[in-house]
């Protein structure tokens, strides 16, 4: 027995024949042949065999007879499969075993025999995961890629991998990056692929899942947490520096690298859609491939254990939303990607949580929704609900149009007039507060005289906004006299220019 590992090394690593192995190990040819046949039947790579104890290896190659001392041995494969089912314990299985075999092993010996068997089993099978309980999530360190058709540039993308605990049934998908939106979308597609919801999601400490990694109290990303709440699943991040917490997905990622990325390594793809189509096909082949020792595929185990235990998906698909915090401005609006949305004026100066999707923007204050708007993709636009405006209560606000004018008058008459024009050219005067306050702040950077001259020039140019005043000051153009203005023809598709007519005359 002490020479089993050496036989395994010579046969599996060096591909030696039976006779050279017999000579090298000083054993008979028949013994070497028996060992080689057993190793073939075991089908375990040498890397795993080298880490096994001799007793474990001999137990796998030469299992004990079913009956010992007249007592019927338990069916350990059956026990292992039953333990994956919800609510099933080893004590219950022992009671059922004794019911069918009154002369069988008592509880302590029964437990001992099962634990010894588990040590000798496939390392992946040592961890008993309940059916429908956990979905493990991670990204592969090795990345797939595709080629841009126009430029030939190679674009690396991320490979998302999820694995169900009991069956090791796998889902894989390529995504452009590991942003929270892409990560959440992958989780949604994984749940739809499995056709149901497990009890728990077990992510590694990814940025798309965990805002702040902590051994005791990790902070879960708000978008990911909202998705988990929608699908009624719990999020249990793998503990920092605890690799056994994510052993299942680590094994899944390794299989994805060997059975998906390696299979596709010599193929060229010209889009991420084309790449994902090939990944789907390779993943299907991996899930249908029989696993050695148990002679069942991941799909077989999924249909037997995980599939019946998964909870049904909700009727509606989760809509991915982004979250941000913002302080309500004096114009009672908050900015979402350069578009401004109103909230009740009573919240001026307070922090609100903003939830926004591709179609809607919602504001929450202390957990209560206070505003909702249809999203506009128009930078600089104001979306205002009339009910949010102060109306007769405006005198109680710190900032009013009258106070804005008074501040402008302190700088100069042109500044006051420009602020009047800014507020007059808006649907509501409050929409011009931001531009006016920006001009007031410019007077703290530049002298009031320069700001006054810049406002005067802006009035001449009918440029009623903060950006024009700022640009004039930065370019030192605030003192340019009207007579010095150049006749500049505005750019337009129908303005051909002098060169065009010169070419026509030449022809």
* Greatest C-alpha distance within the chain: 116
Residue 493 resides in a domain: no
CA distance 48 to 123: 9
In a domain, 116, yes or no: yes
Owning domain of residue 117:
66-121
247-271 average pLDDT score: 85
Are 157 and 301 part of one and the same domain?
A: yes
229 and 295 together in one domain: yes
DSSP state of 270: S
Element (H, E) at 273: helix 272-288
What's the rounded mean pLDDT across residues 6-32?
82
- Write down the pLDDT at residue 55: 72
Give the pLDDT score at 226. Answer: 83
Q: Considering the domain boundaries, does residue 184 fall inside one?
A: yes
Q: Specify the higher pLDDT residue, 319 or 220.
A: 319
- Per-residue pLDDT, averaged over 255-273, amounts to 90
Element (H, E) at 469: helix 466-474
What local confidence, expressed as pLDDT, does residue 88 receive?
75
% of residues, the chain, pLDDT over 70: 81
112 and 37 part of one domain: no
Q: What is the CATH number of the domain that holds 232?
A: 3.30.420.10
At residue 69, does pLDDT exceed 60? Answer: no
Cα gap 230→209, rounded to integer Å: 15
> Based on the domain organization, do 81 and 175 belong to the same domain?
no
Q: Residue 501 above 70 pLDDT?
A: no
Residue 475 covered by a domain: yes
Entry pTM: 0.51
Does residue 282 sit in the same domain as residue 245?
yes
Q: What is the pLDDT of residue 276?
A: 95
Secondary structure of 11-46 as H, E, C letters: HHHCCCCHHHHHHHHCCCHHHHHHHHHHHHHHCCCH
Contact 133, 248 (CB under 8 A): no
Determine, yes or no, domain membership for 496. no
pLDDT category of residue 27 using cuts at 50, 70 and 90: confident
Q: Is residue 505 part of a domain?
A: no
146 against 25, higher pLDDT: 146
126: pLDDT strictly greater than 60: no
Within a domain: 127: no
pLDDT recorded at residue 492? 44
Distance CA 27, CA 288 (A): 40
User: pLDDT per residue over 77-105, tens digit each?
Assistant: 788 777 767 667 888 888 888 888 888 88
Share of the chain above pLDDT 90, in %: 21
Is residue 164 within 8 Å of 227, Cβ to Cβ? no
Which residues, at least 6 apart from 316, have a Cβ–Cβ distance to it below 8 Å? none
The residue that leads in pLDDT, 448 or 484, is: 448
Distance CA 21, CA 28 (A): 9
**Phi/psi at 351 (nearest 5 deg)?**
-85, 140
Question: Which of 154-168, 339-353, 406-420 is the least confident region?
Answer: 406-420
Domain boundary among 309, 335, 351: 309
Residue pair 203/210 in contact (Cβ under 8 Å)? The answer is yes
Instruction: Summarize the confidence of residues 438-456 as an average pLDDT.
Output: 87
Residue 116 has pLDDT above 80, yes or no: no
- Report pLDDT for 490: 42
Q: Are residues 112 and 5 in the same domain?
A: no
pLDDT tens digit sequence for 205-238 = 665 555 544 433 446 777 888 888 899 888 877 6
Note the pLDDT of residue 380: 82
59 and 70 share a domain? no
Kindly state the DSSP code that residue 388 receives in the 8-state scheme: G
Label residue 432 by pLDDT band (50, 70, 90).
Answer: confident
Q: Does residue 244 have a pLDDT over 80?
A: no
State whether 224 and 360 are in the same domain: no
Confidence (pLDDT) at 249:
65
Helices (H), 145-269: 180-194, 222-230, 247-256
Range in 256-260, 353-357, 395-399 with the lowest mean pLDDT: 395-399
Pick the more confident residue, 23 or 198.
198
Find the helix packing angle between 413-424 and 448-460, rounded to 10°. 50
Same domain, residue pair 93 and 146? no
- Residue-wise DSSP of 322-365: EEEEEEPPTTSEEEETTEEEE--GGGTT-EEEEEE-SSEEEEEE
User: CA-to-CA distance for 472 and 465, rounded, in angstroms?
Assistant: 12
Query: Which residue, 371, 394, 417, sits at the end of a domain?
Result: 394
Please compute the mean of the pLDDT values over residues 2-8 and round it to a whole number. Answer: 77
Burial of 135 (0-12, 13-18, 19+ CB in 10 A): buried
Mean pLDDT of 135-156: 91
Q: How many domains does the chain have?
A: 5
Residues 273 and 148 in one domain: yes
Q: Is a pLDDT exceeding 90 seen at residue 172?
A: yes
Calculate the average pLDDT of the chain: 80
> 474: pLDDT confidence band, cut at 50, 70 and 90?
confident
Q: Quick one: pLDDT band at residue 483, thresholds 50, 70, 90?
A: very low
pLDDT score at 121: 56
Those residues whose C-beta lies under 8 Å from the C-beta of residue 143, and which sit 6 or more positions away, are: 156, 157, 158, 159
Do residues 304 and 204 both lie within one domain?
A: yes
178 part of a folded domain: yes
361-386 pLDDT, tens digit per residue, is: 999 998 889 999 999 888 888 888 87
Q: Are residues 104 and 138 in the same domain?
A: no
């Amino acid at each position: 027995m002490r020479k089993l590992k050496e036989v395994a090394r010579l046969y599996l690593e060096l591909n030696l024949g039976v006779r050279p192995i017999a000579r090298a190990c000083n054993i008979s040819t028949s013994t070497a042949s028996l060992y080689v046949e057993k190793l073939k039947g075991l089908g375990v790579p040498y890397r795993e065999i080298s880490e096994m104890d001799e007793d474990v290896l001999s137990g796998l190659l030469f299992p004990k007879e079913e009956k010992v001392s007249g007592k019927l041995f338990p069916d350990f494969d059956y026990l292992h499969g039953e333990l994956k089912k919800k609510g099933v314990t080893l004590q219950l299985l022992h009671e059922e075993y004794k019911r069918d075999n009154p002369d069988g092993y008592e509880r302590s010996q029964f437990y001992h025999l099962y634990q010894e068997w588990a040590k000798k089993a496939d390392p992946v099978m040592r961890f008993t995961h309940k059916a429908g309980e956990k979905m493990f999530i991670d990204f592969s360190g090795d990345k797939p890629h595709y080629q841009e058709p126009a430029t030939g540039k190679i674009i690396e993308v991320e490979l998302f991998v999820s694995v169900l605990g009991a069956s090791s049934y796998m889902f894989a998908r390529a995504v452009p990056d590991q942003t929270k939106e892409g990560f959440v979308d992958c989780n949604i597609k994984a749940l739809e692929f499995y056709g149901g919801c497990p009890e728990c999601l077990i992510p590694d400490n990814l940025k798309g899942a965990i805002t702040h990694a902590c051994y005791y109290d990790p902070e879960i990303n708000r978008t990911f947490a909202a998705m988990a709440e929608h699908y009624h699943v719990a999020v249990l991040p793998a503990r920092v520096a605890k690799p056994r917490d994510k052993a299942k997905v680590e094994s899944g990622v390794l299989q994805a690298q060997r059975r998906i990325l390696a299979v596709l390594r010599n193929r060229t793809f010209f889009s991420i859609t084309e790449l994902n189509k090939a990944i789907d096909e390779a993943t299907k082949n991996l899930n249908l491939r029989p696993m050695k020792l148990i002679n069942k595929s991941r799909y077989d185990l999924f249909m037997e254990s995980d599939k019946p235990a998964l909870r049904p998906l909700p009727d509606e698909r989760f809509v991915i939303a982004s979250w941000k915090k913002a302080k309500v401005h004096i114009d009672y609006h908050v900015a979402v990607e350069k578009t401004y949305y109103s909230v009740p004026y009573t919240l001026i100066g307070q922090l609100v949580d903003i939830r926004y999707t591709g179609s809607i923007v919602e504001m929450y204050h202390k957990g209560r929704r206070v505003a909702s708007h249809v999203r506009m993709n128009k930078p600089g636009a104001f979306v205002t609900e009339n009910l949010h405006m102060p109306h007769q209560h405006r005198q109680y606000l710190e900032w009013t149009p009258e106070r804005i004018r008074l501040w402008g008058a302190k700088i100069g008459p042109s500044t006051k007039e420009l602020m009047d024009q800014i507020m007059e050219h808006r649907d509501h005067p409050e929409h011009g507060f931001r531009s006016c306050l920006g001009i007031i702040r410019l007077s703290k950077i530049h002298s009031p005289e320069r700001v006054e001259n810049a406002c005067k020039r802006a009035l001449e140019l009918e440029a009623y906004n903060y950006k024009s005043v700022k640009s004039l000051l930065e370019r030192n153009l605030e003192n340019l006299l009207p007579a010095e203005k150049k006749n500049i023809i505005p750019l337009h598709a129908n303005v051909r220019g002098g060169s065009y007519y010169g070419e026509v005359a030449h022809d």
